[in-house]
Amino acid sequence: MQAKPVSVFSLAVFVAALGYFVDIYDLLLFSIIRVPSLKDLGLTQDQIASDGLFIINIQMAGLLIGGILWGILGDKKGRLKVLYASIILYSLGNIANGFVQTVNQYAAVRFLTGVGLAGELGAGITLVSELLPKEKRGIGTSLVAGVGLTGAVVAFFFRENFHWRTCYFIGGGLGFLLLMLRVGVLESGMFKDIQHSNVKKGNFFMLLNNGKRLKKYLCSILIGLPTWYVIGILVSFSKEFGEKMGVVGTVDPGKAVMFAYAAISIGDIAVGFVSQALRSRKKALYIFYGITAIGIVWFFNLRGQSVNSLYAASALLGFGTGFWAIFVTMAAEQFGTNIRATAATTVPNMVRGALILISILFTSLQASAGYVKSGLITGIVAMVIGLGAAILTEETFHKDLNYVEE
């Protein structure tokens, strides 16, 4: 146990928030500069859409693999060591992105960057969850996510003022600055208590070889599906949706991402306080699911409306999917200390990786249903699955986290 309570305004929370800020800047940078960077590489308009989706999927595959890798190492070697190693990898990856000349090079470097980015959020949320008392951890993790998600807004403004290659160099530099700030942050006391014990640590298969744990793990992942459907399909490809729906004006997907993530950061802070007020993670989640559903309905009724209406719908969608902080916190709270980092790091990256399956569903429906209707059907599927998983998930608001899985 910790010797004394840690404040939500402690160095650990502050640095975790900055870490997630850099993580989101780097993670969303491709979506923000997809069009100008691929145009600069000589791609046609159709190739920008198809190869852009390919690169995003490759990046998500890196996140999926990295999530498992860093999660296991986080439980075996410690939360801080994972944070150090992942920061170095994604910072180097971003610098390398500034030099790519072909789509295949772009995809390969985004894959490696994705592997690195996979370690930041889960390890950071696990660390903050274990350092803070249970009465404050929901607020703490919401502050981490809320501050961190403004990284997408900063990425958009950098895109407006710098060449896309320079934006990648800035991302790499921010990562190395973050690495220096990590010095002085304490390791989790709960991890230290079991560090040298004989308890099995970081065994990914412990999440799968027990029926009860497997159910908790799958539900933890499926709860998050609507988030990356919204960002990975609707917002990232808002330009294409806008053209198909006859939105008046030219849609800038980078600006749509900026509006969505500005609202997500507000939503992520708000959901922590809503959860605190209701003394429930699940009730807060249901409220934000409802807001997301309203945003989806609005988005698909934009035909003939202005481009600013699309940006406003993107913002509402962003606010609704601001349950990301609670979703990752719930994943950390579901499992014991010896596999908590494994769960909390793999769960959000499984959701990010699930964008591959979501995009397959989206593209496979297009031949029969068309581009817009395929997007709507895909959204309905994602929302129904997410809601069902939330219903089956246990409430963890009052849960004591100082225990291990046998």
pLDDT of residue 77: 83
**Domain 11-182+203-392 belongs in CATH node 3.40.50.300:** no
Per-residue confidence (pLDDT) for residue 162, from 0 to 100:
94
- Going from the first residue of the chain to its last (406 residues), give the mean pLDDT of each consecutive group of 10, the final group possibly shorter: 57 81 87 90 90 90 88 82 86 94 96 90 77 78 82 88 95 89 64 70 86 94 95 92 94 90 89 90 96 98 95 97 88 88 86 88 95 97 97 89 80
d(CA 242, CA 3): 55
Q: How far apart are CA 344 and CA 194, in angstroms?
A: 18
* Closest among 323, 311, 308 to 257, alpha carbons compared: 311
Contact 117, 85 (CB under 8 A): no
Distance CA 292, CA 303 (A): 19
Beta bridge partners of 248: 306
Q: Which long-range contacts (CB under 8 A, 24 or more apart) does 270-273 make?
A: 270/142, 270/319, 270/322, 271/142, 271/322, 271/323, 271/325, 271/326, 272/138, 272/139, 272/141, 272/142, 272/143, 272/146, 272/325, 272/326, 273/139, 273/142
Whole-angstrom distance, CA of residue 67 vs CA of residue 350: 7
Interhelix angle 337-353/355-369, rounded to 10 degrees, is 20
Instruction: Tell me the CA distances in angstroms from 51 to 36, 252, 371, one per residue in order.
Output: 13, 18, 17
Rg (CA), the chain: 20
Q: Is 240 helix (H, G, I), strand (E, B) or coil?
A: helix
Is residue 39 within 8 Å of 107, Cβ to Cβ?
Answer: no
- Sequence-distant (6+) residues with CB within 8 A of 394 are 216, 334
Q: Is 346 exposed, middle or buried (0-12, 13-18, 19+ CB in 10 A)?
A: buried
The dihedral built from the CA positions of residue 173, 176, 180 and 186, taken in this order, carries a sign that is positive
Distance CA 286, CA 267 (A): 13
A 10 A CB-CB count for 260 gives: 33
Q: Which is it for the CA torsion 84, 60, 302, 32, positive or negative? A: positive
Domain boundaries, the chain: 11-182+203-392
Reading the block at residue 62, the tokens are 């890196």
- Grouping H, G, I as helix, E, B as strand and the rest as coil, residue 255 is helix
Best CA proximity match to 319, nearest among 335, 345, 298, 348: 298
159, HSE (Cβ side, Cα atoms, 13 Å): 24
Cβ proximity of 381 and 364 under 8 Å: no
- Residue 202: name the closest of 58, 346, 11 by CA: 346
Taking the C-alpha atoms of residue 322 and residue 149, their distance in angstroms, rounded to an integer, is 9
